Structure 1
Amino acid sequence: MPPIPFLPNRRHCLGLLAVACGLPVHGADGEAPASLQPALAFLGFEVIDDQPDPARWPALRERAERIGRQMAEGLDRRGLYRVNALAPAQAAIAQARESNEFLHRCNGCLADIGTAAGATLVGVGWVQRVSNLILNLNLGIWDVRDDRMVLTKSVDIRGDNDESWRRGIDYMLRDMVERRARQPRYGL
């Protein structure tokens, strides 16, 4: 029996057109294939405490690390970005931290981190703790090729506890997915 010639269907043609235009392509499960997701080096969350209390720092650092992992896993799992490992960029991260109090304010220092991590996008989160009741969770993502911020998000939360921090990140991720569905270039 002779081989059946390949005749692309409409979905295949639209997928090829989307790739050619630089748009994300989503599979049947709604997630973009890993090879088509933009690479992101996510550096986790920093804490800015407007009412510093040294006794609180261990708990704040632990929460910040926890939501950093939650954000990185969520960005990757939900198909927003392909989150690259930071191990190759540890020297660049240490150098940037030596000369900058906060990486989200470092003005150009993220390019070396992105290059070392093999990513064109670098994300930094920060938690601004105004009081025991009022906190802001923030996320900035920069395209380090031209030091341009491509995404900034902020969520206000109430309550300085594990549950409110976790729920704030859940909301931020859910909102990003919904916006990307409406605007395919959102955050790119």
Structure 2
Amino acid sequence: MLVARALSVLALLLSAAAALAAPEAAPSRRAAVFGIELAEPGAVGLRPLRPEDARRLALATATLEREVAAAGTLAPVDLGSQAAAIRRDAPLYKCEGCAERIALTAGAALAVYGYVQRNANQLLNLTITITEADSGKVLRGGQVVIRGDTDDTWLHGVRWLVKNRLLAEPLPSRS
């Protein structure tokens, strides 16, 4: 009798400890994750993308979508129905509010968009921003310098930004 009671108390304590130790699942917010774009400051008008740039932009966008979804705090929405609006308003990083409008139309609460700026052949800047779709308020953003124009350097830049700037907890006295 005493052993049974001790076991039931132990089981109760273990289940309470497990419940306290388990992190609370943060609710996923719906986010429109737009394709990463290329900004070339010296270019006049829109130029066709070089094939390697188009491929790297697609890889970087897929990595951004995968990293955002894997974090579990944001749930990417399908933007297929908004393809015409995205093409019409591109580039989204300088259209002042069109990314947020498209995100709202797609049923998202947040807009995630970014661009790679080519400063030199082997020196690029990657910028990614998360904004509220209804107000346009910037919630998080970050920039990283990419040294080297390779698939690995681009993807490392995306993963680093997501982990250390976009979905990380704010740093003390720095947010």
Relative to the length of structure 2, the TM-score reads 0.75
Partner of 2:137: 148
Task: For 1:56 and 1:178, locate their aligned partners in 2 and report how far apart those are by CA, in whole Å.
Answer: 30
Out of 78, 89, 93, which is 1:104 matched to?
A: 93
Q: How does 1:169-184 map to 2 (within 5 A)?
A: 169-176=158-165, 179-180=168-169
What is the identity percentage for the equivalent residue pairs of Structure 1 and Structure 2?
Answer: 25
Task: For 1:143 and 1:173, locate their aligned partners in 2 and report how far apart those are by CA, in whole Å.
Answer: 17
Q: How does 1:122-133 map to 2 (within 5 A)?
A: 122-133=111-122
* Superposition CA RMSD, Å: 3.0
Deviates more, 1:166-175 or 1:132-141: 166-175
Partner of 1:39: 30
Superimposed CA distance per residue, residues 143-182 of structure 1 (whole angstroms, 9 cap, x where no aligned partner):
1211211111101110011111111112122214772386
Partner of 1:82: 75
Gaps of 5+ in 2: 1-15
Task: For 1:144 and 1:133, locate their aligned partners in 2 and report how far apart those are by CA, in whole Å.
Answer: 34
Task: For 1:178 and 1:77, locate their aligned partners in 2 and report how far apart those are by CA, in whole Å.
Answer: 11
Partner of 1:67: 60
Which stretches of structure 1, 4 residues or more, deviate above 6 A after TM superposition? 10-13
Task: For 2:106 and 2:79, locate their aligned partners in 1 and report how far apart those are by CA, in whole Å.
Answer: 6
Higher-Rg structure is 2
Aligned length: 156
Q: Quickly say closer, same or farther: Cα 1:164–1:93, change in 2 above 3 A.
A: same
Partner of 1:6: none
Task: For 2:169 and 2:73, locate their aligned partners in 1 and report how far apart those are by CA, in whole Å.
Answer: 8
Relative to the length of structure 1, the TM-score reads 0.70
Residue identity opposite 2:29 in structure 1: P
Contact 2:128–2:141, Cα closer than 8 Å, also in 1: yes
